[in-house]
Structure 1
Amino acid sequence: MQVEHDAKWIKRISALSKMYFTPTFLGTEYIEVSKPAMYVGNHTIYGVLDAPMIIDYLYNEHKVAVVSIADHSHFYLPLWREIVKKFGAVDGVQEYVRSVMQQGYSILVFPGGGREVLKRKGEAYQLIWKQRYGFLKLAQEFQYDIVPFAALGGDEAFDIAFDASTIVNSKAFQALLKVPKLDKLLRHGEVIPSLPKRPIPKRVPFYFQFMPRQSIMQIENIEQMQNFRTQIQQDIYQGLDLLREIRQQHHGM
């Protein structure tokens, strides 16, 4: 499994975002180059604003060779697939992830995946992780520490004009989901996006908070794994609260 990192491309694309959103990164003392880790955080709406800035910051500012675990849908379109790969992303297939971890890459993972980026009204900054534990099992297998992080700003960059719930909860759509093949294709309705009032994002300041590294090696059973995951989620929510306070002090928002 070969990872493509195009440092100049990453820097060039992210430069526009940094000028527009003026991101602030906190907790950088928890970023270590010498020991790979799994960076785990919240994904903001549409997922195209937060990830590039994080990857650029880790890769170009701290020399952390980070691989982003991307949703399968990113790899369906040839041109878009090549763009995603330039950011060091790989398809979120477990064997691919295991391969890059064997090579010693740090991992960037958003456990909420595609559903968390396709947010609906009232879901801003909610972690929608379902029952996913595979990322933690891989971290334990390769003895990777977990570095939780919180991202603030992205879920306020767009106002939702059309809520996907309108379609997904309709009787007609629910009837479609009773067809197994359609249900699988539409991921139970999760691939239906909400539509923004305008395509250009609002200019809001972005904040990122990295938190202390946490070892996962002490976990011995699924109950402890569940408690560990819950604690990570709480850390991220607390990180978001802290970032709101800091933003209030800086911008009065």
Structure 2
Amino acid sequence: MQVEHDAKWIKRVSALSKLYFRPTFLGAEHLDASKPAMYVGNHTIYGVLDAPMIIDYLFNEHKVAVVSLADHSHFYLPVWRSIVKKFGAVDGVREYARTLMAQGYSILVFPGGGREVLKRKGEAYQLIWKERYGFLKLAQEFGYDIVPFAALGGDEVFDLGFDANHIVQNKYFQKLLKIPKLGKLLRHGDVIPSLPSHLIPKRIPFYFQFMPRQSLKQIENMEQLSAFRLQIQQAIYYSLDDLKELRNGRADKL
């Protein structure tokens, strides 16, 4: 399977984001290009600001060849599909991921997927992973460690002017979702976006924290896998809190 990864293009695009958001990357000691891993973290709103910087940093700074598993919706539009592929992203189909892992690629996963990207008011930095365990089962199958990471900044660059909950929670819309085909098409309301009150993102510094590798070798059953996933989520939440403290400390010194 071919990955359309344009490292030079990624670096140019990411350079603009770096100038604007001034990202800080922490935890470089946990990155190892010689041993593929699955990088798992939180996705910030709209999902187009954090991922390019992460992919650029991993590959151009640490030679980690990472492939991002993207939501199916990215591949419906021809022009946008080409842009997404340039970042080394592939449709998040399990068989595609399995093929790439067999080739030795590291994998970038946002378990919250499209729903975590299309956040609503009050959901900043919430992990909306539902009952997804497939990414962990794949990591276990190929002996990949999990490298958790936290991304801070992206959920604060837009103020929401329209909250998707106004539509999703409407009783008439709920009746429409009960129509099987329509409910499936709209993913039970998950694809309804909230809209920002402004188009230009706020210039807020971004922070990324990579955490120590965690092995799944000791996982023997679903109960243990569930506990492992919870452990990963808690690590991300704790890291987000630490990054907020770091950011506040830096702001106090200005």
TM-score range, shorter chain: over 0.9
Matches of 1:235 and 1:178 in 2, distance apart? 37
1:37-86 alpha-carbon deviations (Å, 9 max, x no partner)? 00000000000000000000001111110000000000000111011001
Q: Which residue of structure 2 aligns with residue 156 of structure 1?
A: 156
- AA in 2 matched with 1:25: F
RMSD between superposed Cα atoms in Å:
0.8
Q: Which residue of structure 2 aligns with residue 202 of structure 1?
A: 202
1:156-210 alpha-carbon deviations (Å, 9 max, x no partner)? 0000010000000001111110111000000000000000011111000000000
TM-score by length of 2: 0.99
Matches of 1:82 and 1:192 in 2, distance apart? 23
CA displacement at 1:247 relative to structure 2: 0.3
Matches of 1:4 and 1:105 in 2, distance apart? 13
CA displacement at 1:23 relative to structure 2: 0.2
CA displacement at 1:110 relative to structure 2: 0.3
Matches of 1:173 and 1:120 in 2, distance apart? 17
1:71-130 alpha-carbon deviations (Å, 9 max, x no partner)? 000000011101100100000000000000000000000000000000000000000000
Matches for 1:237-248 after TM superposition, within 5 Å: 237-248=237-248
Q: Which residue of structure 2 aligns with residue 86 of structure 1?
A: 86
**Where has structure 1 moved over 3 Å in runs of 4 or more?**
none
Q: Which residue of structure 1 aligns with residue 226 of structure 2?
A: 226
TM-score by length of 1: 0.99
CA displacement at 1:4 relative to structure 2: 1.1
CA displacement at 1:217 relative to structure 2: 1.1
Matches for 1:134-213 after TM superposition, within 5 Å: 134-213=134-213
Matches of 2:32 and 2:45 in 1, distance apart? 28
Q: Which residue of structure 2 aligns with residue 76 of structure 1?
A: 76
- AA in 2 matched with 1:188: H
1:191-244 alpha-carbon deviations (Å, 9 max, x no partner)? 000000111110000000000000011100000000000000000000001100
For these two proteins, the number of residue pairs brought into alignment is 253
Q: Which residue of structure 1 aligns with residue 126 of structure 2?
A: 126
Gap runs ≥5 in structure 1: none
Q: Per the alignment, in what secondary structure is the counterpart of residue 146 of structure 2?
A: strand
- AA in 2 matched with 1:129: W
Q: Per the alignment, in what secondary structure is the counterpart of residue 214 of structure 1?
A: coil
Please state if 1:97 is matched with 2:101: no
Q: Which residue of structure 2 aligns with residue 216 of structure 1?
A: 216
1:5-44 alpha-carbon deviations (Å, 9 max, x no partner)? 1011100110110000000000110000100000000000
Q: Per the alignment, in what secondary structure is the counterpart of residue 220 of structure 2?
A: coil
Matches of 2:193 and 2:200 in 1, distance apart? 16
Q: Which residue of structure 1 aligns with residue 13 of structure 2?
A: 13
Q: Per the alignment, in what secondary structure is the counterpart of residue 119 of structure 2?
A: coil
Matches of 1:199 and 1:59 in 2, distance apart? 30
- AA in 2 matched with 1:223: E
What is the percent sequence identity of the aligned residues? 79
